A and B are shown apart, each in its own frame.
Chain A
Amino acid sequence: MDVVSKVLMNSALEAQNYKSITVNKHIDLEYDLGTLLAVDTNDFDEKLLRSNTNDYLLDLARDNVQLLLNRIWELPTERVDEAIVVKLPPPKTVLPRCKPVPKPRPLTKWQQFAKEKGIEKKKKDKLSWDEQLKKWVPLYGFKRAQAQKDKDWLIEVPGNADPMEDQFAKKAQAKGEKVAKNELQRLRNIAKAKNVKVPRFGLTNPDVSSAKDLQAAVTVAKASTASLGKFQDKLPQEKEARGVAAITPGASRKRKLPPVSGTQERSENLNIVESVLNKKPKIDIEKAVARQINQEQVERSEEKKNERPKAGRGGKKRSNPKPKSGKGQRKGKTGKTNGRKRR
């Protein structure tokens, strides 16, 4: 019994060196254990704060930390390698981030198009069963190329193709072009994202350019002389490309014609009218035929008008008298001529 009381005495003496673990507060603290945060909303004791600032604040901090630790001890604890561990709940306080939010990655041209049209990406299986090879073939990557090669051990020559053409080479070339195109598009997307200027697409390759692109190229090229194309002659049917002012040297987007006097403008306009009206008429067969038909019709109607006898009875003889039976010659079959026609 003596030993027990001694131990208790010792522990009581030891406890006197420490402060109490129970702290009284008028208003309970607000805790956010996830961030190990306790917020004390109680008022300061003004008198103590003035007289003994440091000690008062130290005491206050200790008390509040004690309260926080009390709360932490209430959480379920575990023992891991001789240490007592607590799992903290998720934090409630929202902390501002230190760095700005990263900007969303700019969409590629296709992504933008797909978004506009509402096209959604369909998830495809990585492996698909190939009936011909009788095995699972990956969609891309390892073993895909070999599978494709195995599949294409023979290529049928299309009916309309040149039989001497190498279909394998053709296929390889098509594939190469596809890869190149993809690469070009990838670079274009990067250029777009970084706002880099690249030469206009379409003027680069004359083999695949449209007439419009070529016209634009001609217009730009003609203006690209030291005197901005002032002394370049125009071809008879040549038209200037429109909408290329941005890339044409010396062209401003909105160019006004210089003001001229009204009379001068009129004479200029008259010249243009002359040139429009004096265009050499092409021989229009349809028109010629229509005119011919019209003329014939007019002639015929004139003739009819002249021929038509005046109305009224009189001794005028018909030019073509009504045919009468039994008169005139018979044409055609000879032989049985008499008797009425039986139907």
Chain B
Amino acid sequence: MKRLSEERTKILFEKLAKYIGQNVKLLIDRPDGLYCFREQKDRVYYVSEKILKLANTIQPEFLISVGTCFGKFTKSNKFRLHVTALSYLAPYAQGKIWLKAPAEQQFLYGNHVAKSGLGRISENAEKYQGVVVYSMSDLPLGFGVAARSTAECKHADPMSSVCFHQADIGEYIRSEEDLL
């Protein structure tokens, strides 16, 4: 477990800011104790200081996961969020999309969201902004990138994509092995 370098920290926060904007600060500056980002095998984990101290007693090669895995750095040094980060993105999300019931399954199988499946969209969602996808009963299903801004959505063709799929909770089953 090592600290993220300054460059990588910056890349991570830039990515998070696309989804939760100013709320990134809330992830770092928490009233309930110190939380930090740690890196192992290019994966980034969000851990409380207490658990980190305990984890440091384990040899790195035997440590599979600690805290919450936020995602990983690719070989080209870009950051990719994993579904596991959803529980931290969802409460702070700025752009949101709600799916109609029939479109839920489509999304959970890893498909993009078509206009026809769009139930509701938060106001002022910009194009290519990170959005969290909810079911109509406000259950977070995953996240993606808005393919169109809110205004454009209104006039979009029903079959055209509104949101590009990035991660969904179906991955817990579909790609169980790759998640960690």
Residues of A in contact with B (beta carbons under 8 Å apart) = 239-240, 242, 256-257, 262-263, 265-266, 269-270, 272-273, 275-277, 286-287, 290-291, 293-294, 297
Please pick, from B3, B25, B49, B154, the residue contacting A273 in the complex, using a CB distance under 8 A: B25
Q: Is B29 an interface residue (CB 8 A)?
A: yes
Chain B hits for A265, CB < 8 A: 3, 36
Residues of B in contact with A (beta carbons under 8 Å apart) = 2-3, 5-7, 9-10, 13-14, 17, 21-22, 24-25, 28-29, 34, 36-37, 49, 77, 124, 126-127, 149-152, 154
Pairs A–B under 8 Å by Cβ, sample size 6: A240-B7, A257-B3, A262-B49, A263-B34, A270-B29, A275-B10
Bound-complex Cα distance A256 to B150 (A)? 44
Nearest Cβ distance between residue B75 and chain A, in whole angstroms?
10
Known contacts A262-B49, A272-B13, A294-B124; A277/B151 CB under 8 A: no
User: What total of A-B pairs shows CB separation below 8 Å?
Assistant: 66
Please pick, from A242, A257, A287, the residue contacting B77 in the complex, using a CB distance under 8 A: A242
Bound-complex Cα distance A242 to B77 (A)? 9
With contacts A266-B29, A270-B25 known, what are 13 further pairs, Cβ within 8 A? A239-B7, A256-B3, A257-B2, A262-B34, A265-B36, A266-B34, A269-B36, A272-B10, A273-B17, A273-B25, A287-B149, A290-B152, A294-B150
Nearest Cβ distance between residue A297 and chain B, in whole angstroms?
6
Interface pairs A-B: 4 shortest CB-CB: A294-B151, A262-B34, A290-B149, A257-B3
Please pick, from B9, B24, B25, B151, the residue contacting A290 in the complex, using a CB distance under 8 A: B151
Nearest Cβ distance between residue B153 and chain A, in whole angstroms?
10
Chain A hits for B154, CB < 8 A: 297
Bound-complex Cα distance A287 to B128 (A)? 10
Contact A276–B127 (Cβ < 8 Å): no
Chain B hits for A256, CB < 8 A: 2-3
Contact B6–A272 (Cβ < 8 Å): yes
Chain A hits for B3, CB < 8 A: 256-257, 265
Q: Looking across the interface, which residue of chain A has its beta carbon closest to that of B14?
A: A276
Q: Which of A242, A263, A273, A291 has the most CB of B within 10 A?
A: A273
Chain B hits for A286, CB < 8 A: 127
Nearest Cβ distance between residue A288 and chain B, in whole angstroms?
11
Q: Looking across the interface, which residue of chain B has its beta carbon closest to that of A292?
A: B151
Chain B hits for A262, CB < 8 A: 34, 36, 49
